[in-house]
Chain A
Amino acid sequence: MTEPLLSIRHLRVYYGTSGDPVRAVDDVSLDIGEREVVGLVGESGCGKSTLGRGILGLLPYGARAVGEVNLDGQNLYELPPSAFRRFRGPQLGLIFQEPMTRLNPLMRISEHFSETLKQHEPKLSDGDIKRRSLETLGRMGIPPTRYEQYPHEFSGGMRQRIMIALALVLRPKVLVADEPTTSLDVIVEGQILALLADLKKNFGTALLLITHNLGIVAEACDRMAVMYAGKIVEEGPVRDVFREPAHPYTRELLRSTISLETKELHSIPGSPPNLIDPPPGCRFHPRCPNAMRVCAELVPIEQRLDERRRVLCWLHGPEQLVPSGGELPLEREAIGIADEA
Chain B
Amino acid sequence: MRPEPVAPPPQPGPEDAPLVSVRDLKTYYSIRGSFIDRLAGREAGIVRAVDGVSLDIRRGEVLGLVGESGSGKTTLGRTLLGLVRATGGSMQFEGQELTGRSESEWRDLRREIQVVFQDPHASLNPAMTIEQAVGHPLQIHRLMRSKEQIRARVIEVLEHCGLAPGADYLDKYPSDLSGGQKQRVVIARAIILNPVLLVADEPVSMLDMSVRAKILELMMALKRDLELTYLYITHDLATARFFCDRIAIMYLGKVVEIGPAEAIYADPKHPYTQALLHAIPEPDPERAVPRDLPRGEVPDAAMPPLGCPFHPRCPSAFEPCGWESRDLRELFESRWALAAGEPGVEEEQALVGDLDVLARPSSKVRLTAGRKAPEIVGLLDRIRAEDPAEPFWRGIERMEADELSVNIDFHEPHEPQLEQVGEVEVSCHLYDPTITQA
Contact = CB atoms under 8 A, between A and B. Distances in A.
> Size band of the A side of the interface?
35 or more
A197 B289 contact: yes
B178 to A, nearest CB: 5
B290 to A, nearest CB: 6
B68 interface: yes
A165 to B, nearest CB: 11
Contacts of A341: 178-181, 207-208, 210-211, 214
B68 A262 contact: no
B125 to A, nearest CB: 21
A338 B168 contact: yes
B83 interface: no
B180 A271 contact: yes
B176 interface: no
Nearest to B330: A143
The A interface, classified by DSSP as helix, strand, loop or mixed, is helix
Interface string A131-142: 100110111011
B32 to A, nearest CB: 15
A265 B68 contact: no
A212 B104 CA distance: 43
B285 A187 contact: no
Contacts of B216: 258, 265
Given A135-B340, A138-B339, A214-B283, A336 B237 contact: no
B46 interface: no
B279 interface: yes
Interface string B279-308: 111111111111101110110100000000
Given A239-B285, A253-B209, A143 B181 contact: no
B222 interface: no
A220 interface: yes
A193 B278 CA distance: 14
Contacts of A320: none
A208 B17 CA distance: 54
A267 B349 contact: no
B285 A218 contact: yes
Interface string B216-227: 110000000000
Interface string A198-232: 00000000000000111111111000000000000
Contacts of A213: 281
A186 interface: yes
Contacts of A137: 337, 340
A131 B343 CA distance: 11
Contacts of B209: 43, 212, 214, 253, 256-258
A125 interface: no
Interface in A145-199: 145-146, 155-158, 185-191, 193-194, 197
A79 interface: no
Residue in A142, A219, A256, A266 with the greatest tally of chain B CB atoms within 10 Å: A219
Given A189-B279, A259-B282, A145 B213 contact: no
A155 B297 contact: yes
B340 A337 contact: no
B164 interface: yes
Contacts of B431: none
A28 interface: no
A111 interface: no
Contact of A185 (B68, B211, B349): B68
B178 A186 contact: no
A334 interface: no
A288 interface: no
B162 A340 contact: yes
Contacts of B286: 239
B239 interface: yes
B275 A187 contact: yes
A257 B295 CA distance: 28
A156 B241 CA distance: 27
A218 B284 contact: yes
B178 A215 contact: no
Contacts of B300: 155
B162 A337 contact: yes
B333 A258 contact: no
A267 B214 contact: yes
A150 to B, nearest CB: 15
B149 interface: no
Contacts of B179: 44, 341
B157 to A, nearest CB: 14
A87 interface: no
Nearest to B69: A185
Given A186-B280, A253-B209, A340 B214 contact: yes
Contacts of B162: 337, 340
B164 A218 contact: no
A137 B336 CA distance: 11
A190 B282 contact: no
B98 to A, nearest CB: 29
B334 interface: yes
A260 interface: yes
Contacts of A238: 285
A252 interface: yes
Given A216-B281, A253-B210, A258 B337 contact: no
A95 B293 CA distance: 23
B14 interface: no
B291 A258 contact: no
A261 B282 contact: yes
A254 interface: yes
Residue in A44, A142, A155, A186 with the greatest tally of chain B CB atoms within 10 Å: A186
B276 interface: yes
B283 A257 contact: yes
Given A142-B337, A265-B213, 7 more contacts: A44-B208, A143-B336, A238-B285, A257-B209, A267-B213, A338-B165, A340-B181
8 contacts: A141-B334, A141-B338, A186-B237, A190-B293, A193-B281, A212-B208, A258-B242, A266-B213
Interface of B: 68-69, 162-165, 168-169, 178-181, 207-214, 216-217, 235-239, 241-242, 265, 275-291, 293-295, 297-298, 300, 332-334, 336-341, 345, 349, 355
